[in-house]
Structure 1
């Protein structure tokens, strides 16, 4: 370069403007000031995914016994048939509403959808534990899946709270937390259901599945 002058950049770097009261601006400012891995936000994401997954997967060890005690199946061979509908009702509700919840999260923000999803886990898991009729069990599971639109917004949130070089870690964290929930959930559900069914007093007063739901929710919240 003639005269030893430094080459002028082709594109001028624009100065970031942050507005007060803007949640997105606050996130971008935090990412600029703290370029490292956002461990605090990642821990919150991990906890939310675990909260969402544990009550969902914890029912499968005792679902057979629940259908048997509801006396909906005329023969033992039919128990698996009816149990399949209860297990599938959650995913049916989730399939029908996941896209809609993603659109809602884009419109009103991630946090309201995530909070509603956590509240739905707490409410409908408890109602599922109180189910004394087969259709009540299916309805509560379906409503849980319909109102629990956490996965899409939480993935978007995981991307938004970290810098581009940490996006892969954020998304893998969501998948890992979900996998841990699928492993731990059935273990906890099977153990608590066995304990509650072996306790004669509890078995006579409350449905054992309610005991399981109560302790799972207490563990989470």
Structure 2
């Protein structure tokens, strides 16, 4: 009997009845091996929320043109920037709220609500008939889709310590893949009556709403994810600089270099984001992770909201200075982006970034 008592841990965890966090901790203690099911669940949920963010950019210019809101062709970039920013603006205003809701009522309800919002408002965006409907549906999509912060907290909590980095890297990987697949879907499926007249007539639904098909496909995927969710348990600066010069190429060399540069940039971004996720989620207790991730999402969303609007304005301005001596045309756009990247690099040094100590 004395030997058995000696084998018991000196500080034994105490669990409470009807405590969701306690149930998660008990589940982690009993599980061994690689948590494949949980990894797949997180992957598809994050993919679901990242696809709508970037899928509109290949056809956004043509969508704004068809709305006939821009008086001049040069002004299309301004309006496109506002539509692109509206999603992140909405997310910036509500991320802390959704983080608090996730802490109070659980991660799962917030995640399910977020996927449902993708189904509804992404579909409505594809059916937009004017600029104001488009910007409103994108704003509501960003406001009501608050699952990214809770899913990061969930990824930290559901895995044992040895698998936490893998869980958070799954979030980053799925996010990056969504940002790659999204534009591909948008570009391939937009305006189907013009691209594939043998399959879609101009009098069909997809002929009357030329940007509905890519949104519909993403919404159907989000619906499947919603149903499945009920069963849940920086090298960056030189790469960015090269983009404006790569654009001077053509043909196979252009396609090869732009894809290689994009892959390298995404790999570096995923590595950085994963490290930041680990620092952020280990810096607070479990009952504060939803709110902490919500605050982080608010800050990120604010900058991403300003990005498309500011980028659209800078791009439109750059087109008017093609013959300038100092960084003409698009080179000025990438110069400004590199300045922002450099500021980010400087902020990784002490005393701005202090490593967390347990």
Give me the whole-angstrom Cα distance separating, in 2, the residues matched to 1:35 and 1:18: 23
* Cα deviation code 1:53-103 (max 9, x no counterpart): 112211110001100111111111111110000001001111111111111
Q: Is the 8 A contact 1:159 1:170 kept in 2?
A: yes
Q: Decide which of 24, 31, 34 is 2:31's aligned counterpart.
A: 34
Q: Which of 208, 211, 221 is equivalent to 1:209?
A: 211
Matches within 5 A, 1:48-59: 48-59=45-56
Report the secondary structure of 2:203's partner residue: helix
Match of 1:121 in 2: 118
Give the CA deviation at 1:176. 0.7
Match of 1:12 among 10, 13, 16: 10
Q: Distance in 1 between matches of 2:206 and 2:57?
A: 22
User: In the alignment, what sits opposite 2:320?
Assistant: none
Unaligned stretches of 5+ in structure 1? none
The TM-score normalised by the length of structure 1 is 0.88
In the superposition, relative to structure 1, how do residues 99 and 18 fare at CA in structure 2: closer, same or farther (>3 Å)? Answer: closer
TM-superposed CA distance for 1:186, in Å, is: 0.2
Aligned residue in 1 for 2:278? none
- Residue number in structure 2 paired with 1:193: 190
Q: How many residue pairs align between the two structures?
A: 214
Map 1:21-170 to 2 at 5 A.
Answer: 21-170=18-167
1:165 Cα deviation after fit: 1.5
2:159 paired with 1:184: no
Q: How far is the alpha carbon of 1:50 from its aligned partner?
A: 0.4
Uncovered stretches (5+) of structure 2, i.e. residues with no partner? 225-358
> Retained in 2: the 8 A contact 1:196–1:211?
no
Tell me if the contact between 2:192 and 2:206 (Cα under 8 Å) persists in the aligned partners: no
- Corresponding residue number in structure 1 for 2:220: 218
- Cα distance between partner residues in 1 of 2:106 and 2:218: 29
Aligned to 2:268: none
Contact 2:193–2:207 (CA<8 Å) still a contact in 1?
Answer: no
What SS does the aligned partner of 1:103 have? helix
* SS of equivalent to 2:71: coil
In 2, are the aligned partners of 1:61 and 1:186 still within 8 Å (CA)? yes
For 2:130 and 2:176, the matched residues in 1 are separated by 31
* CA distance, structure 2, for counterparts of residue 114 and residue 214 of structure 1: 20
Alignment correspondent of 2:246: none
